[in-house]
Amino acid sequence: MTAGAKQSVFLKSIQIQGFKSFADKVKLDLESGLSVVVGPNGSGKSNIVDAVRWVLGEQSAKSLRGSKMEDVIFAGSSTRKPVGMAEVSLIFDNSKGIIPLAYEEVVITRRVFRDGEGQFLINKTPCRLKDIQELFMDTGSGKEGFSIIGQGRVEEILNLKSDERRLLIEEVAGISKFRLRKKEALKKLEDTQQNIDRLNDIIAEVQDRLEPLAKQAEKAKLSKELQTSLQEAEIKLIVNDLAANENKLKKEQQHTEQLNQELTVLNSKIAEDESTYVSAKYELDRLDEQVTELQGNVHALENSVQEGNHNISLLKEKEHYTQQQMLRLEKEITLAEEQIAASKDKYHQLTVREKDLQNALVQVSADLKDMEKELLELSKLSGSQSLEELKTEIFEQLSCQSKLTNECSELEHRKEVLTKQQAQWIEDLKVKQQEKNALLEQIKQQEDAMQKIEGLLTELEQKASAHKRAIEQKREKIRQAEDNTQSLLRQLDEAQARRRALQNLEDNLEGYYKGVRETVLAFRQGKIDCGQVFGTVAENLKVEAKYELAIETALGTALQNIIVAGIEDAKKCITYLKHNNGGRATFLPLDAIKGSRLSLAAGILNKQGVLGLAVDLIAFDSRFQDLMEFLLGKIVVTENLDTAIDLAKQTNYRFRIVTLQGDQVNPGGSLTGGSTKGQGNSLLSRARIIKDLTAKIDELKIKYEKQKQQVLLDSKELEELEERKRELELQIQSCQEKKSIIKVDKKYVQEKIDRWDEALKMLELDLADAKSQIAELDVKIGEKKKEIELTAAKINDLKQEQKILEDLVKQANIQVEGLKERITAAKVEAARKEQEYEQIKQLRLEENASLQNSISLCHTSKTEYETLKQDMLSIVAKREETLKGLQETEAELKAQKYKLIQLRKLREELSSKNIQLEETIQLKKRQAKEKEQQLHQNELRIARLQAEWEAGCQRLEEEFSLTWEQALSFKSQDKKEALQRTIDELKAKIEELGPVNYAALEEYPQTCERFDF
Amino acid sequence: MLKAADSLYALIKDLDESMIKRFRQGFRDINEAFGEVFNQLFNGGHAELQLDDPENLLETGVKIIAQPPGKKAQLLSLLSGGERAFTAIALLFAFLKVKPSPFCVLDEIEAALDDANVERFVNYLRGLARQTQFIVISHRRGTMEAADRLYGITMEESGVSKLLTVEMDKLDHEIA
């Protein structure tokens, strides 16, 4: 848990707000060690990864699982509103300086708004996406690196093609940059190649164009000359035109000046007249104003006169109306006073009647009360109430009885159930007892089976141990036999090795002199071309082992002599040896050698210890008879040296005698002897030893095979034994299994028995319980039945009492009926009286109301009459005042009307004078306008001439680059028509030349130059 | 102009050479790391990257040969699903080893592994955590058990994620 504790944190925290499912601000503080993010599917874990990727500059909305960048903003849920901005910040600890910025802490932030606008910030300062990418480029943690391994990235690696996988390795190896640069270089190279191609094209084209350009240049030169003369003519024409134009212009300008002077005089006169006219008009206006004012005054006065008249008639009318009203009111007052008197009378009568009725009503209700009292007493007497009580008691007793009966039957039912159950339990008890007995029987059987199996098991185990012993014995035997086999094999190997070594010596003729070896081997290999070489003497004779030493001694070096067919052959062999520097050898040619035998007296040979002539002790091919006699025919072999010395003495030392020990007595009496070398090296014995070894090997081989066979047999037996042992073991195992099964079964049955015992005990207990319950129930039932009888008796008594009471009640009821009828009649009477009283009371109240009404009406009318009288007085005063004002106003109106007539006359005169003045002004203005028009036309003409002159000058400047002053030199006396003709001719000539490439004039020398380059 | 073309040719040749040199070095490093990581993750076995065309280092593709313990070497596409995923993880770790990144976010990359492999994955991750800060998103118990800190994301309110933090060390103390 603390493995990474010392390691520092690089990414300190991740802050997410409004990004995908993180609607609220979430801060993921990372600490050292392994951080693991967990949560159910769809809870938004991967959104954290997306957030980190996003901040590091992910541009593809698709890889963030959206369709456009705004989709990363929290889009709202069923209970939440969408937010307007997504923001994610990564906070890095940069104390180690991994990020190339001089801050201890670096905060990278990315934001996006709903309108699609995005922002990147480094430490809260806005920056570009590229800045962030550059920041992380060399830290190995950019979004392209392996710092974010998303879901499916593993699958991606698996599914990549092998050349795409290469790109991953390139990424790690940092080759991508190089690949980019190479791409650029290739593109540049392509561009350069294209440029070179284009250059080649241009050279080819220039070559093609050179020739036609020369022709075109010539034509252009001619054309240019023509153009120059045409230009000259055209200039002359233009200059002449322009000069004429200038003259005309001067004349027109003089005329214009004169016209201007005339116009000025006229205009000053018009101005004078107009000022006079304006002052007259002002006077007129002032008069008009006075007239209007006077007219307004007259009008106002007339209006006020009319209003005064109208007011007077209005006041008169009002006066009349008021008088009428006063009359009507007087009448109304008299009428109301009469009515009041009548109402007072009627009211009084009604009050008296009401009082009478009230008294009668009191009487009737008192009667009624008495009668009701009587009825109540009677009803009480009838005793219906006690009857009801009795009935209730009877009902109660009945219900009590039925309840008791129910309880009794329930108890009986319970008893019945218990009895049934008891029977059932007794039955169960019997069955269970039987089952238990059966189980006990089963256990006995199982115990028997167990004993049997255990007997069998002991027997089997004894057998198994016997087998085991037999197997061990067999194994021991096999091991010994295998040891034997091994030792035999070793002996065999030794013998074979020895034989091989000896055979090798034999084959290579080891032990022979060099010359002998050379000769025999060369012959065998066919290197010597001769008749027959039979090999050495040693090779061609066979000796018994005991004679070996004697014969070897007898032969001496002759053992190594080579037997050949003839002398010639011997010669050839010697030549070969000489030639090859092969050493020396002695040859025994068969055709040259004659053998002779020592003839000895029979006595000598038969003497004790004398074995005979050496030649007789060996075996050889018959053709070598002579040879062998030559070598060994005169040598006697004895058993020992003493015998030999004796023999020699007897025979006077005439021949050689050799002993079996290798000593010899030479003719003449000399003796040779001593120890000899080891047997193996002797040439004679070698062949024999080889033979012996072969025989021994064969023998060993047979022995070995036999032993091996034996081992095989034994092994088979062992296998059989083991097989049997295994079978036995299996049997034992199965027996044991059976035993354990029986054991388990037995245990199971025992448990069952125990359970049955338990159940039986329980049943017995239940039975006892049931018995006691039944007895209890019996007692209860008896009690209940007694109670029921008691209740029935009570009910009977109560019923009799009820009958007596019912008779009494019937009589009382009849009396009550009569009284009730009387009461009803009295009640009807009382109701009628009451109704009448109510009516009268109502009438009285109504009468009183109408009386009050009349009094108030009379009072109102009187007040109104007083008011009208006051009004009348004020109206008369007002009328007189108005009449007086009217007379004054009429007098003033007359004076004003006279003044108005005077003023109008004065205005008429002034107006006619003014009209005359206006007419003269109009006349003068028309004259001025005509002059102006003339002036305008003149100006237009001047402008046209000036424009023509300027156009000419411009044409000179543009077409021929000449100013007017320069062009004046071209001025000539030529006629215009002549000049025009010259121009036309020149133009025709130029036309004739056809299209001319003037560019050729310049292009030709340039192209030449380019081509040369 | 011809001179410019010549110098461009020389530049491309230069780039090719250094690319070959880098690729050879990178390939060797990654291959070595891959073999090592694979061996540790699978607790035996052997894996290597092979070039399709060793003569042409500029273009050659790369194939993955993996031999989980007790099986014969075979191409990635012939392995079982879990082994394939684990092999790919080994390759990713090899990349991280050759080109260490200061932090690394792993999003459920071990989902296809069995429990024993998750344990080895986590052990290896803890080793790598000394040079790289890991943020692992996981559903696997084995990974959670090895965490120093657990961050739980829940969605109590529909559509809105919430964050819970559990610090394993502190928890251990509390339990003790």
Specify the pTM.
Answer: 0.37
- On whether ipTM exceeds 0.90, the answer is no
Please tell me which of the candidates A36, A145, A166 has its beta carbon nearest to residue B150: A36
Nearest residue to A311 via CA among A889, A947, A945:
A889
A185 touches chain B (CB under 8 A): yes
User: Is the pLDDT assigned to residue A629 strictly greater than 80?
Assistant: yes
Mean pLDDT of A184-190: 84
Report the alpha-carbon distance of residue A487 to residue A704 in Å, rounded. Answer: 9
Report the alpha-carbon distance of residue A611 to residue A637 in Å, rounded. Answer: 5
Task: Tell me the pLDDT band of A205, cut-offs 50, 70 and 90.
Answer: confident
A78 vs B contacts (CB less than 8 Å): 158-159
Please tell me which of the candidates B18, B127, B154 has its beta carbon nearest to residue A178: B18
Instruction: For A764-790, write each residue's pLDDT tens digit.
Output: 888 888 888 888 888 888 888 888 888
B98 vs A contacts (CB less than 8 Å): 172
| Chain A residue whose CA is closest to B61 | A163
B60 vs A contacts (CB less than 8 Å): 163, 166
B66 vs A contacts (CB less than 8 Å): none
% of chain A with per-residue pLDDT over 90: 4
Question: For testing the chain B interface, which of A148, A154, A188 should be mutated: the one with the most B CBs within 10 Å?
Answer: A154
**Least confident piece of the model among A499-508, A663-672, A680-689, B74-83:** A680-689
Contact B27 A31 (CB under 8 A): no
Please tell me which of the candidates A77, A141, A154 has its beta carbon nearest to residue B101: A141
Contact B99 A140 (CB under 8 A): yes
CA distances from A885 to A298, A300, A888, B11 (A): 16, 14, 5, 127
- Scan residues 76-115 of A and list those with Cβ closer than 8 Å to B: 76-80, 98
Contact A35 B149 (CB under 8 A): yes
How high is the pLDDT of residue A641?
A: 86
Report the alpha-carbon distance of residue A33 to residue A99 in Å, rounded. Answer: 21
A331 vs A213: which has the higher pLDDT: A331
Instruction: For A875-900, write each residue's pLDDT tens digit.
Output: 888 888 888 888 888 888 888 888 88
Question: For testing the chain A interface, which of B2, B75, B153, B158 should be mutated: the one with the most A CBs within 10 Å?
Answer: B153
Could you tell me what percentage of chain B is helix, strand and coil, using 3-state DSSP and rounding each to the nearest 5? 50, 25, 25
**Sheet strands side by side (includes A635-638):** A610-613, A635-638, A656-659, A664-665, A671-672
Report the alpha-carbon distance of residue A365 to residue A494 in Å, rounded. Answer: 171
Contact A153 B5 (CB under 8 A): no
CA distances from B111 to A53, A150, A159, A458, B90 (A): 21, 12, 17, 60, 14
Closest approach of chain B CAs to the CA of A242, in angstroms?
60
Contact B92 A154 (CB under 8 A): yes
A217 vs A396: which has the higher pLDDT: A396
User: Is the pLDDT assigned to residue A238 strictly greater than 70?
Assistant: yes
Closest approach of chain B CAs to the CA of A89, in angstroms?
15
Closest approach of chain B CAs to the CA of A36, in angstroms?
5
Mean pLDDT of A670-681: 69
B169 vs A contacts (CB less than 8 Å): 1-2
Report the relative pairing of strands A11-17 and A26-29 from DSSP bridges.
Answer: antiparallel
Q: Tell me phi and psi for residue A43, to 5 degrees.
A: -85, -10
Contact B1 A196 (CB under 8 A): yes
Task: Tell me the pLDDT band of A949, cut-offs 50, 70 and 90.
Answer: confident
CA distances from A949 to A236, A258, A496, A939, A943 (A): 14, 24, 147, 15, 10
Instruction: For A558-577, write each residue's pLDDT tens digit.
Output: 888 888 888 888 888 888 88
User: Is the pLDDT assigned to residue A4 strictly greater than 50?
Assistant: no
Q: Residue A457 contacts by C-beta under 8 Å, 6 or more apart in sequence?
A: A732, A735, A736, A739
Closest approach of chain A CAs to the CA of B84, in angstroms?
7
Report the alpha-carbon distance of residue A631 to residue A614 in Å, rounded. Answer: 9
Q: Residue A73 contacts by C-beta under 8 Å, 6 or more apart in sequence?
A: A18, A19, A82, A83, A84, A85, A86, A112, A113, A114
Contact A22 B100 (CB under 8 A): no
How high is the pLDDT of residue A88?
A: 93
User: Is the pLDDT assigned to residue A680 strictly greater than 60?
Assistant: no
How high is the pLDDT of residue A110?
A: 92
A79 vs B contacts (CB less than 8 Å): 157-158
Angle between helices A384-507 and A176-382 (to 10 degrees): 160
Please tell me which of the candidates A34, A182, A185 has its beta carbon nearest to residue B146: A34
Report the alpha-carbon distance of residue A157 to residue A864 in Å, rounded. Answer: 118
Contact A11 B102 (CB under 8 A): yes
Please, are residues A659 and A550 in contact by the beta-carbon 8 Å criterion? yes
A395 touches chain B (CB under 8 A): no
Contact B99 A168 (CB under 8 A): no
Question: For testing the chain A interface, which of B6, B13, B15 should be mutated: the one with the most A CBs within 10 Å?
Answer: B15
Please, are residues A158 and B84 in contact by the beta-carbon 8 Å criterion? yes
B109 vs A contacts (CB less than 8 Å): 149, 151, 153-154
How high is the pLDDT of residue A136?
A: 78
User: Is the pLDDT assigned to residue A89 strictly greater than 90?
Assistant: yes
- Interface A:B, Cβ pairs < 8 A: 273
Closest approach of chain B CAs to the CA of A1002, in angstroms?
28
User: Is the pLDDT assigned to residue A1 strictly greater than 50?
Assistant: no
Please, are residues A617 and A544 in contact by the beta-carbon 8 Å criterion? yes
pLDDT tens track of chain B, all 176 residues?
677 778 888 888 888 888 888 888 888 898 999 999 999 888 888 888 888 888 887 788 888 888 888 888 887 778 888 888 888 889 888 888 888 888 888 888 888 888 888 998 998 888 888 878 888 998 888 888 888 888 888 888 778 888 887 766 666 666 65
A193 vs B contacts (CB less than 8 Å): 5
Residue type, A11: L
Contact A157 B126 (CB under 8 A): no
Determine the Cα angle at A368 with ends A364 and A370, to 5°: 120
User: Is the pLDDT assigned to residue A1007 strictly greater than 80?
Assistant: no
Nearest residue to A51 via CA among A94, A11, A81:
A11
Report the relative pairing of strands A105-113 and A85-93 from DSSP bridges.
Answer: antiparallel
Report the alpha-carbon distance of residue A356 to residue A127 in Å, rounded. Answer: 116
How high is the pLDDT of residue A138?
A: 65
Please tell me which of the candidates A3, A157, A186 has its beta carbon nearest to residue B91: A157
Please tell me which of the candidates A2, A40, A154 has its beta carbon nearest to residue B89: A154
Report the alpha-carbon distance of residue B127 to residue B134 in Å, rounded. Answer: 11
